[in-house]
Amino acid sequence: MNSQLKCIQCGKIYPPDIRLRLCECGSPLLLAHQIEGLRMRGSELRTIIESRPLGVWRYLELLPKAVGEPVSLGEGGTYLQRAERLGRELGLRNLYLKNETMNPTGSFLDRGSTIEVTMALHSDVRCLECISRGNLAASLAAYAVKAGIPCRVYVLPGAEQAKILQALAYDAELIYSSRRFNHLGDGHLVEPYNPFFLDGLKTSTLEILEQLDWNPPDAIFITMGTGSNLTATWKALNEAESLGLIKGNLPRLYGVQASGCAPIVEAFKKGLDEIEPKKDCKMIFPDISEPSPILGSIVLKAIRSSGGSAIMVEEDEILESIKLLAKTEGILAEPAAAASIAALRIAVNDGLIDRSEKVVCMITGSGLKDPASIRELFKLSYPKHVRVSGTKLKILKLLSERSMYGYELWKALKITYGLEFKLPTIYQHLSELLRMGLIVSKPPERGLGRRMVRKYHLTESGRKVLADSLNREP
């Protein structure tokens, strides 16, 4: 197989060099593969692919040729889940979820990292670098340490702490700045739109096709930041069609962005072929908040040529979709991933999707990587879903009458209910009720014995849970 780099704008051809990311004209490059010696029907190529173990490197004929063993953590081969319960909620009979949370670092970007880092290792790259607010930092750092290559992460303002700490755990060097990084180090810069990285991302779509017996779905919903995942999907579909791998028509592509930063959606609605960069983007969900997506023009072309659309979703719609996905299908997604579910609901209600069509939503990252959003959801859910009993219920009853110190509660439980505990046991119950959001405490103050003591109060959520629990008592 021969590969070459081709400019998406002017068509200029370059050799397949890992260090090349952009054309002289400033546009991104894509890898173009010419398969030699494989003059076969699509069925024969399918047989070869299906004979290999699951994972990104299963699709060797459609990937850049690596010299030596791949740098792999077991990425790819993720589950395509038939979402029957979620489908009933949305009124769809054939809904599927591509669960990319199952990748080694919890996001779809691991697919790109395995290709990029493998090619970098065999190209004598001495250091890997990325500019990131989240998932890219974690993914690249993991694969870099596996390859034994130093990794440097330039952390942008608004970075998601859990993901940056994940990169730190993988021994990455973190460099923070409140300003734009104009001068980077001497390492190989990895961006989501790097041509080799994109070739790794496209394997998610190849897996979807294979998991559906090479019969494409009618529609695929994909969240967008730089537009890398949708570009990779479009590339995979075109390559699979040209090689005769698939049996039906190509699916419609639906790109999704959050309302706080949606330059691709806005350009699509205006009928533009180029993106107008946004200056006032709200970085609520950093992984899908890119003010000037470099792949914007190719994403617009991909969406339009597929007959799809670009959809904008609101913050509350995204958060509601996290809850809906978790309670119907058992998948905890981060906001940037759950946005695809929010967009699907809009598309169904607007008549863009027929209820009998086969639809796939890409769930690109795990909710465990964004604990702040999950905490928000729990705050909203506790009054409805949490019940308490035993000692905790008695503590809430006492606090509903007046605020108390821990020592006061210890005495009140003994006097009112005849319960005798060691004092640390009471504080353990209080700690758990605090985490549940059912009580709060004010800053410590000096008590009668001149010791610092803390007074506990019932929250509004605590009052609702108390009332609900009392109503359910026999």
Q: Is residue 86 part of a domain?
A: yes
pLDDT value for 332: 95
Judge if 123 and 232 occupy the same domain: no
pLDDT value for 181: 60
Judge if 224 and 293 occupy the same domain: yes
Between 462 and 266, where is the model more confident? 266
pLDDT value for 452: 66
User: Where does a domain end: 189, 220, 250?
Assistant: 189
Judge if 158 and 267 occupy the same domain: no
pLDDT value for 173: 93
Judge if 229 and 340 occupy the same domain: yes
Q: What is the bridge-based pairing of β-strands 309-313 and 252-258?
A: parallel
Q: Is residue 122 part of a domain?
A: yes
Judge if 256 and 357 occupy the same domain: yes
Judge if 266 and 371 occupy the same domain: yes
pTM: 0.80
User: Where does a domain end: 328, 355, 376?
Assistant: 376
In 232-389 the beta strands, taken as DSSP E runs, fall at 252-258, 309-313, 358-363
Q: Where residue 422 sits, what CATH number does that domain have?
A: 1.10.10.10
Question: Which residues neighbour 385 within 8 Å (Cβ) at sequence distance 6 or greater?
Answer: none
Q: Per-residue pLDDT for 150 more than 90?
A: yes
- Return d(Cα 288, Cα 345) in angstroms, integer: 19
- The answer to whether 347 touches 205, Cβ cutoff 8 Å, is no
Q: Is residue 361 part of a domain?
A: yes
pLDDT value for 451: 63
Q: What is the DSSP letter of 329?
A: H
Judge if 206 and 96 occupy the same domain: yes
Q: Is residue 422 part of a domain?
A: yes
Judge if 237 and 283 occupy the same domain: yes
What would the mean pLDDT of 392-397 be, rounded to a whole number?
Answer: 92
Judge if 120 and 239 occupy the same domain: no
- The answer to whether 406 touches 445, Cβ cutoff 8 Å, is no
Q: What is the CB-side half-sphere exposure of residue 421 using CA atoms within 13 A? A: 20
Provide the residue range defining the domain that includes 440. Answer: 386-472
Q: Per-residue pLDDT for 384 more than 70?
A: no
Reading the block at residue 356, the tokens are 């009998």
User: Where does a domain end: 334, 349, 376?
Assistant: 376
Q: Per-residue pLDDT for 436 more than 80?
A: no
Judge if 198 and 285 occupy the same domain: yes
Distance of CA 234 to the CA centre of its chain: 19
Q: Is residue 13 part of a domain?
A: no
Q: Is residue 199 part of a domain?
A: yes
Q: Is residue 53 part of a domain?
A: no
Q: Is residue 55 part of a domain?
A: no
In 194-283 the beta strands, taken as DSSP E runs, fall at 219-223, 252-258
pLDDT value for 414: 92
Judge if 302 and 214 occupy the same domain: yes
Helix, coil or strand: residue 125: coil
Q: Where residue 223 sits, what CATH number does that domain have?
A: 3.40.50.1100
Task: Tally the domains of the chain.
Answer: 3
Judge if 87 and 230 occupy the same domain: yes
pLDDT value for 183: 56
